[in-house]
Structure 1
């Protein structure tokens, strides 16, 4: 089974997520936005072997530490969808804009598409392409653990911003309603920032996408 641990990083308290197979100890880090030494220390404490670096999208607080983590560990960078290449090309500019440590533009070792499966030890993560916050945003889902890492698509009581270049609010709402909610009310999700919730809770009470909004 896959295990998950959240490690908030960067001044934006972005939820970098350690995910690992409890049988093989093979691990991935989803959205290493920064504080790479801290993330590596967490891996070492748990005696985990980092084999993949996964990105939900190309914003600096999610991808800013990816190149450094790859250089240190040798693990490949996988994701997001290719539509976010322009964000990854601009990581240096983003780091200056938000006063983050300098980040270099990067191209992942592998782009992801909707429906892809990523092996991790004896388990796997399903990839869902969920555009809206960014055009290439992806979500990582494990049915066995009933957990999804949704990046900045959905939050407890809120949804992702759509005031960035190539963001689209209609696409975002459609992603949540047609890709995430059908996974099941009991699925727990880890957002890019803030506390966990479940799709059922958000379907019932989230003022942006819940039953109060859509009936």
Structure 2
């Protein structure tokens, strides 16, 4: 499998396209779903699934645009972050987003309410069929924050849990500052040192490099 990165939206969210020659798994389509779909179509790829590391708005608002092009794309998220999806979940997510970033009041209500119910709610240690991503529940940033590990290629999509030289915020509603560091240490820092880490924002890194992360 190979990885392509698209930086999207006002927060420069990293949307990752995990793909082979014919299929793609879309990780965290934060914004511009129609543009993502045009891009993958130009590559000749079939969208197999949207997979979310968590359900904050800057990682999910591209989903309605994708599904407008192909409503059969399944959406995967951890069970604990599922409440921010679906029509009612989208309304809750809008309230959260505006409370933290008032500029999000400019996002049309219809977009928030178009967020779909998840097709599949995964759990810790589950392996996603087709792409071989292994779910590692981290929590902390959101209750259902996960990292996604593909052992065959030593790839880790860490979402907003682990960054290059930093970790995810835990001063947000529903965050748990006591959970994130122990989970990163036990579930991520024990992976092979040459594992490439693809975070939700910013540059990629490696597990070996993050052994010196000052937040850990």
Using structure 2 for the length normalisation, give the TM-score. Answer: 0.87
**2:172 maps to which residue?**
164
Q: CA deviation at 1:94?
A: 4.4
- The unaligned stretches of length 5 or more in structure 1 are 210-215
Q: CA deviation at 1:160?
A: 0.2
**1:32 maps to which residue?**
29
Aligned-residue Cα RMSD (Å) equals: 1.6
Q: Is the CA contact 1:70–1:77 (under 8 Å) kept in the aligned structure 2?
A: no
Select between 103-112 and 29-38 the one with higher mean Cα deviation.
103-112
Q: Is the CA contact 1:150–1:189 (under 8 Å) kept in the aligned structure 2?
A: yes
**1:212 maps to which residue?**
none
Select between 100-109 and 155-164 the one with higher mean Cα deviation.
100-109
**2:107 maps to which residue?**
101
**1:213 maps to which residue?**
none
Count of residue pairs the alignment pairs up: 202
Q: CA deviation at 1:62?
A: 0.3
Q: Show the 5 A alignment for 1:58-97.
A: 58-73=55-70, 74-79=72-77, 81-88=78-85, 89=89, 90-94=92-96, 96=98, 97=102
Q: Show the 5 A alignment for 1:105-144.
A: 105-120=115-130, 123-144=131-152
Q: Is the CA contact 1:77–1:110 (under 8 Å) kept in the aligned structure 2?
A: yes
Structure 1 residues 26 and 35 mapped into 2: Cα distance closer, same or farther (>3 Å)? same
Q: CA deviation at 1:67?
A: 2.9
- The unaligned stretches of length 5 or more in structure 2 are none
**1:53 maps to which residue?**
50
Q: Is the CA contact 2:37–2:69 (under 8 Å) kept in the aligned structure 1?
A: no
Q: CA deviation at 1:124?
A: 1.2
Distance 1:39 1:106 in 2: 17
